[in-house]
Amino acid sequence: MSAYHPLNETKAIEIARNLEGIFQPQAQLACREIGDGNLNLVFHITDTSSSRSIIMKQALPYAKVVGESWPLTLDRARIESEALMLQGSLAPGLVPDVYLYDPELALTVMEDLSDHVIMRQGLMNGTRYPLFAGHISTFLAQTLFFTSDLGRNQQEKKLLVRSFTNPELCKITEDLIFDDPYRDAETNSFEETIRDEAQALWNDEELHLEVALLREKFLTRAQALLHGDLHTGSIFITPESTKVIDPEFAYFGPMGFDIGAVLANLLLNFAAREGWDKSEAERERYRAYLLDTVTDIWTQFQDKFLALWEEHGVDRLANTAPGYKENYMQRLLQDTIGYAGCKMVRRIVGLAHVADIDKLQDASAREQAQRLALRIGKSLIKLNRDADSIDQLIVAVHAASAAAKA
């Protein structure tokens, strides 16, 4: 007896026309469905008589990945819209504005960002985003601090944890990131040329221990409200603007999982440069830019997070206990490095890949990129519990690059 039904373009226009305060009564509305149809319908609705446009995103009651289809809760539309609104209030301007959420239709109406590009594509094109480290570190610091026990009333936070309970989407992460790549799983997907690398993952006991520990934290540590899927495909960008989208995996987990996701996707692009730059010099310059961005993100995140803590910390003992902040930030860095490594590994041998590498036309460049990404990913996972500086991550990347060339 649910009123849910998937929309088509005509119905989407009808709904758009009835939204208050969005379009003029005389608007000439045109609609195009621009989603990939795997998880959601995405309608782009424009008033051709003005420049006004919106996005309407409707969750589908199933997920399709690589031919497979399975049922998936519509509740993720609620989680996504609530996460967007909360993130928007904490990090204004860094997520799309939400105009409406309709629970019956699992529908979110939001700001159109067509003037932005997907960051992954921007990086593949070799574009630089000098404001990105500033923007994303603000997004991370604001959303993570103010949803944690450090920055929010601790009883309110528990109710938020309850509201962002997200078992189905968490399970996707638990399987695809923290299990399947480390065994000969049917869901895995990799080219035969790197079967040796996949097998090495399945047999690396040191790695398994670290991944088990990181998996445990993902399962149990309700530290802050995460975006939950913060790769460069979830970021709309221009050189001036950054917008984080698609938080349907949002739940309360370890902060380092979000920060690590951003760093991992910069490093996946780093590994893929062989195929994207016209010259070696250009490649080295872009790689240096990526690594500088990695360092900047962590450093600026840390500064902003500590400044928020200093000014808005609500936990008396956490505010005052000598050594606690240092201890906290070190563990956060360790988690960030560990999760960055996991996020890299899964994109090479797991179900879902990244275009940065998959779109490399040259098979040998592609294989080289895959091997380098795995080498970096594994070394970050193994480094995680020993790390106490972001420089160690950079050193590990350089070491992996040098070893890959040798």
* Footprint on this chain of a copy of itself (rule: CB under 8 A): 149, 154-156, 158-159, 161-162, 165-168, 170-171, 174, 178-179, 182-183, 205, 208-209, 211-213, 215-216, 219-223, 315-318, 320-324, 327-328
Q: Is 57 annotated as a binding residue?
A: yes
Q: Is 103 annotated as a binding residue?
A: no
- How many other C-beta atoms can be found within 10 angstroms of the C-beta atom of residue 29? 19
**Which CB sits closer to a copy of itself, 17 or 215?**
215
Tell the smallest beta-carbon distance from residue 96 to a copy of itself (Å). 28
Please state at what angle helix 280-312 crosses helix 324-349, rounded to 10 degrees. Answer: 140
**Which CB sits closer to a copy of itself, 71 or 167?**
167
Q: Is 149 annotated as a binding residue?
A: no
Please give the C-alpha separations between residue 66 and each of 48, 63, 148, 149, 366, in angstroms, as whole numbers. 36, 10, 36, 39, 20
C-alpha to C-alpha distance for 318 and 131, rounded to whole angstroms: 32
Please give the C-alpha separations between residue 369 and each of 63, 85, 231, 402, 404, in angstroms, as whole numbers. 29, 38, 18, 13, 10
Beta bridge partners of 64: 69
Token readout for 99 is 């105009």
Give the contacts of 17 (CB within 8 A, at least 6 positions apart): 23, 27, 29
**Which CB sits closer to a copy of itself, 96 or 338?**
338
Max distance between CA atoms of the chain, in angstroms, equals 66
**Which CB sits closer to a copy of itself, 111 or 174?**
174
**Which CB sits closer to a copy of itself, 124 or 255?**
255
Give the contacts of 275 (CB within 8 A, at least 6 positions apart): 360, 361, 362, 365, 366, 369
Q: Is 384 annotated as a binding residue?
A: no
**Which CB sits closer to a copy of itself, 5 or 162?**
162
Q: Is 112 annotated as a binding residue?
A: yes
**Which CB sits closer to a copy of itself, 162 or 312?**
162
Q: Is 229 annotated as a binding residue?
A: yes
Torsion of CA 302, 353, 362, 294, to 10 degrees: 0
Q: Is 247 annotated as a binding residue?
A: yes
Give the contacts of 156 (CB within 8 A, at least 6 positions apart): none
Residue 109: φ, ψ to 5°: -105, 125
For the chain, give the number of residues. 406
Question: Is 218:387 a contact under the CB 8 Å cutoff?
Answer: no
Q: Is 74 annotated as a binding residue?
A: no
Q: Tokens 């998936």 sit at which residue?
A: 72
Tell the smallest beta-carbon distance from residue 171 to a copy of itself (Å). 6
**Which CB sits closer to a copy of itself, 101 or 178?**
178
Tell the smallest beta-carbon distance from residue 78 to a copy of itself (Å). 14
Which residue ranges make up the annotated binding site?
A: 40, 57, 111-113, 229, 246-248, 346
Which residue ranges make up the annotated binding site for substrate?
A: 229, 346
Which residue ranges make up the annotated binding site for ATP?
A: 40, 57, 111-113, 246-248
